[in-house]
Amino acid sequence: MPRIDLYRNVHMGQRARLFALAVEVGAGDSADAAAGKRAAERCLAMTGELREHAEHEDTFIHPLLRERDPAAADALDAEHLRLDAALAALDDRARAFPAASPDARPEAQHALYLALNELISAYLAHLHAEETVAMPALWRHCGDDELAAVLGAFRASRTAQEGLTDLHRMLPALPPAVRASVARATVASVPGSEAGRSLDALSGTLAPEQRARLYADLGVPEAWALR
């Protein structure tokens, strides 16, 4: 049976949304000031989300890692320096882009695109370190009960809306079987009378074909959610 992985699902969601954001920024119409402003705002929202995610890891995961495997924890700390610089650089570009003059906007957009991709480069290295250094270290030194306690503490710290947002960010990037497993566990945690509405809410960011597959995998008709 697979061991509990504290990183995999959330990291898959982050990768998918970072790549989509890079395409959006790169392909945007620099003559459309309103669209440029929205793209800049999405970049700032992403850096805010990534910082919040790092705070969650620092609170719930990395103290246990540092206690059990200080060398693995040191490897993650080294990644933070490059990552922090890339986050700050993207923030600067995103804040400057909406104020660029029409003539300067094409180059400002490309500078934003480059800054975003520099962050993605740094962030991918960070995710790789967590997935290939930190998680194996936790598997070596911790039992599944300890890893489950970490997940439980994090989930308990989230409001219902924050938990739903976490699922919305993650579910579209997961394989169908994993998506169904997450959805099944989520629905099982609410009263039976709320199960349909809960499934309808958590599947809100899925593409139509993903949503249809989820309901098929769970063995319920999509109309069940509307009862």
pLDDT-based confidence at residue 193 (cuts at 50, 70, 90): confident
Burial class (CB in 10 A: 0-12, 13-18, 19+), 70: exposed
How many CA atoms does the CB half-sphere of 13 hold within 13 Å? 19
Segment 209-224 mean pLDDT: 88
Question: Cβ–Cβ contacts within 10 Å for residue 191, how many?
Answer: 7
pLDDT at 192: 73
Tell me the one-letter amino acid at 157.
S
Range with top average pLDDT, 9-13, 70-74, 182-186: 9-13
pLDDT reported for residue 223 = 67
**Over the chain, what is the mean pLDDT?**
93
Helix (H, G, I), strand (E, B) or coil at 116: helix
- CB within 8 Å of 55: residues ≥ 6 apart: none
Model confidence at 173: pLDDT above 90: yes
Q: Is the pTM of this model over 0.85?
A: yes
Span 20-61, pLDDT tens digits = 999 999 999 999 999 999 999 999 999 999 999 999 999 999
Q: Are 87 and 51 in contact (CB under 8 A)?
A: yes
**Which pLDDT value is given to residue 194?**
83
Q: What is the pLDDT of residue 142?
A: 97
Contacting residues for 129 by C-beta, under 8 A, at least 6 apart: 75, 76, 79
pLDDT in tens, 54-85: 999 999 999 999 999 999 999 888 777 789 99
pLDDT above 60: residue 227: no
Query: What's the pLDDT score for residue 221?
Result: 83
Q: Could you give all domains of the chain from N- to C-terminal order, each with its CATH number?
A: 8-153 (1.20.120.520), 160-226 (no CATH)
